[in-house]
Structure 1
């Protein structure tokens, strides 16, 4: 790699890290090109020599957030030998805690909308889908007779239920729920859903 390419890659990494800090501090709406350029020491227009557009920049930050979430979920189930149901409970609570501790970065992944006519690139979709293995594997152990597609739908449904509770529970408004209570309610929801699925399968 030439010196020029090395400098560009370093500046690109600095840009993504600066964007991550800015979103964490200000939220997605606070991400401004001129502030990013000033922070990394480049001209305003030079930002778009490092990434294609703001969509790519936000998605790159999102991939970093997803990577950290992936590690958190893996750690949550690494201790002991939890049952598949308890694994799902641990994952759900770990997801809630991660969202609470990384609120603006977590929100940004769901608030961001691509420019009209643009699709989310494959690399970003792959980063998102990778995390579903944490839900899919214990579900496959619980329901070995189910096909891949059916398990995938169940995994997405379970995630949607937990995500909805987290999103509403962490709102700084009337529906806000204290974190210890939210953890307890999420655990109860996951156990109830799995118990119901097991009963229906029987």
Structure 2
């Protein structure tokens, strides 16, 4: 790699890291390319020699956030109690804790909207889809007779329920819920959903 390419790659890494810090401090709406250019020591227009556009920059930051979230969920999976139901509860609580500790970066994952005619890059889609394995694998143990498609739908439904509770619970308005209470409610929700799915499976087998 030539020195020019090395400098460009270093600037690109610096840009993404600076954008990550800016979003963490100001939120997605506070991301300004002029401020980023000043931060990394380049001309404003040079930012677009490092990334295609602001969408790519936000997605690159999002991938870094998703990687750290993936690490947090993996740590939750490896805790002492290996039962799939308790694993799912730990994963849900780890998701809640990560969101609370990285609020602006976590919000940016869902607040960012691309124009309707722009296609999400494959690398970004893959980064997002990888996270569902944390939910899918315990569900596959709990419900071995379900098809991959059924398990995929259940995994997304479970995620949506937990995500909704976290999003509302961490909202800094009237609906905000203290974190300990929110964690307790999330654990109750996941346990109730799993118990309900198990009971429905028993009814299906018995023909009830």
TM-score, normalized by the shorter chain, greater than 0.5: yes
Deviation per CA, 1:107-161, whole angstroms, max 9, x where unpaired? 0000000123101111000000000000000000000011111100000000000
Partner SS for 1:174 = coil
Deviation per CA, 1:60-113, whole angstroms, max 9, x where unpaired? 000000000000001112122420000000000000000000000000000000
* Counterpart position of 2:123: 123
* Counterpart position of 2:205: none
Partner SS for 2:172 = coil
* Counterpart position of 2:6: 6
CA distance in 2, matches of 1:81, 1:191: 15
Partner SS for 1:104 = helix
CA distance in 2, matches of 1:17, 1:159: 28
CA distance in 2, matches of 1:111, 1:149: 28
Deviation per CA, 1:14-51, whole angstroms, max 9, x where unpaired? 00000000000000000001000000000000000000
* Counterpart position of 1:78: 78
* Counterpart position of 2:175: 175
* Counterpart position of 1:150: 150
- Segments of 5+ residues of structure 2 without an aligned counterpart are 203-208
Taking structure 2 as the reference length, what is the TM-score of the superposition? 0.96
* Counterpart position of 1:135: 135
* Counterpart position of 1:16: 16
Task: Confirm whether residue 87 of structure 1 aligns to residue 96 of structure 2.
Answer: no
Runs (4+) off by over 6 Å: none
Partner SS for 2:175 = coil
The answer as to whether partners of 1:55 and 1:115 remain within 8 angstroms in 2 is: no
Task: Confirm whether residue 102 of structure 1 aligns to residue 102 of structure 2.
Answer: yes
CA distance in 1, matches of 2:86, 2:45: 50
Deviates more, 1:70-79 or 1:160-169: 70-79
Number of residue pairs the alignment of both structures matches: 202
CA distance in 2, matches of 1:111, 1:45: 25
Question: RMSD over aligned Cα, in angstroms?
Answer: 0.6
